[in-house]
Structure 1
Amino acid sequence: KEDLEKAKESLISTISEIDLVAKATFLDAFEKIEKNFIKVFRSLFTEEDHCDLKLTDPANPLESAIEIIAKPKGKKPLTINQLSGGEKTLTATSLLFAIYLLKPAPFCIFDEVDAPLDDANIDKFNKIIRDFSGESQFIIVTHNKRTMVSTDIIYGITMVEQGVSRVIPVDIRELV
């Protein structure tokens, strides 16, 4: 019985230690992501625009939800769900790149993320992709001509016959 009590105490102590390390690691990453989020958000919106990440339960960060707040110029602070489609896309893109900056990936895939954006915002999206393309490769599924033109290589997919697709690569760099 004494051995079981010691084992139980040891496990409880180990779990507490792991929780402390996990909490410290999470809060450190959260703080860095929050700073990156502000920086990237302002590059996609304007320097006067504001955003924030908030823990809904700061006393219990490992179990807390995270609120994504954006305040484009002239608007009151809104959660991401209250934003327009374009604002929501740029805010989510800001958060993705904020996380990316913490630990860059060798490649990223975006599937029609530019669909809800108008031309001005597509240009902002394309610029941030171009800015980060020195460190990572980006695969972007798109139907938007502005996004296609901003790339280095396009892979067009066309259906030759039912169930048979053909890939058509175009190196944009050779055309300019």
Structure 2
Amino acid sequence: EQLAERLSALEAQLADVGSAKESIEQLIARIDDDSRRLLGETIETVRGHFRELFERVFGGGQADIVLEPGVDLLETSVEIVARPPGKEPRSISLLSGGEKTMTCVALLLAIFRSRPSPFCVLDEVDAALDEANVDRFVGVLRDFLSSTQFIVVTHSKKTMAAATTLYGVTMEESGVSKRVSVRFESAATSRAKAA
């Protein structure tokens, strides 16, 4: 009789575990479906913005976000393919330093356009750019100033000239750093008053 009760209790527990397993599997399937849908929508949105911004930063050309065909969206690899004006389409890894930078800037800003963020820190992203590309880079950043504040670490005078506020660190004597800041609107007003 004790064995029968024990067997009955174990069978009830087994049924509960089976039911819980089924519920969890259904929940995972729903989450996976939602994740696939949201990821697919996001990739398509970012893809559209990326294509547009790539053309803007390069003054032409084409770019795309390519997913591995025939693979579950949640497990696929993602490749960035770019064709700067006058060149063949290539994986981003085969581009020059400046082309990689501009492609990555276009991709980053495409993501920002899809999911705006109040600020973005860019650390010397313009280091590999020539003057013409620095101008394009700065121009594209200006398009985002209504929704995103950029903190850009740079050595480029052209990038610095585009800033509204400039913070710098100098070393006037060995081992002693000094912070300086200039608000360009205030500096322009001060110069106008002095004249």
Whether the TM-score (by the shorter chain) exceeds 0.5 is: yes
Question: Residues of 2 paired with 1:59 and 1:138: CA distance?
Answer: 37
1:129 maps to 2:141 = yes
Aligned length in residues: 175
Name the counterpart of 2:77. 65
Name the counterpart of 1:96. 108
Question: Residues of 1 paired with 2:185 and 2:174: CA distance?
Answer: 32
Contact 1:57 1:65 in 2 (8 A): no
Name the counterpart of 1:108. 120
Question: Residues of 2 paired with 1:109 and 1:58: CA distance?
Answer: 36
Considering fraction of residues, name the structure with more helix. 2
1:168 maps to 2:180 = yes
CA displacement at 1:117 relative to structure 2: 0.1
Name the counterpart of 2:97. 85
Name the counterpart of 2:62. 50
Give the % identical residues: 41
Name whichever of 118-127 and 165-174 sits farther off: 165-174
Question: Residues of 2 paired with 1:165 and 1:8: CA distance?
Answer: 61
Name the counterpart of 2:131. 119
1:113-164 residue CA offsets vs partner (Å, 9 max, x unmatched): 0000000000000111111112211100000111111111111112355554
CA displacement at 1:57 relative to structure 2: 4.3
| Superposition TM-score, scaled by structure 2 size | 0.85
Question: Residues of 1 paired with 2:158 and 2:118: CA distance?
Answer: 24
Name the counterpart of 2:160. 148
Question: Residues of 2 paired with 1:86 and 1:174: CA distance?
Answer: 34
Name whichever of 151-160 and 5-14 sits farther off: 151-160
Instruction: Specify every segment of 5 or more residues in structure 1 that has no aligned partner in the other structure, as ranges.
Output: none
For 1:12-27, what aligned pairs fall within 5 Å after superposition? 12-27=25-40
Q: Secondary structure at the match of 2:65?
A: strand
Question: Residues of 2 paired with 1:161 and 1:12: CA distance?
Answer: 66
Higher Rg of the two aligned structures: 2
| Superposition TM-score, scaled by structure 1 size | 0.94
CA displacement at 1:165 relative to structure 2: 2.5
Q: Secondary structure at the match of 1:117?
A: coil
Instruction: Specify every segment of 5 or more residues in structure 2 that has no aligned partner in the other structure, as ranges.
Output: 1-13, 189-195
How well do the aligned residues superpose, as a CA RMSD in angstroms?
Answer: 1.4
1:34-92 residue CA offsets vs partner (Å, 9 max, x unmatched): 00000111110124x11110112453111111100001122110010000111100000
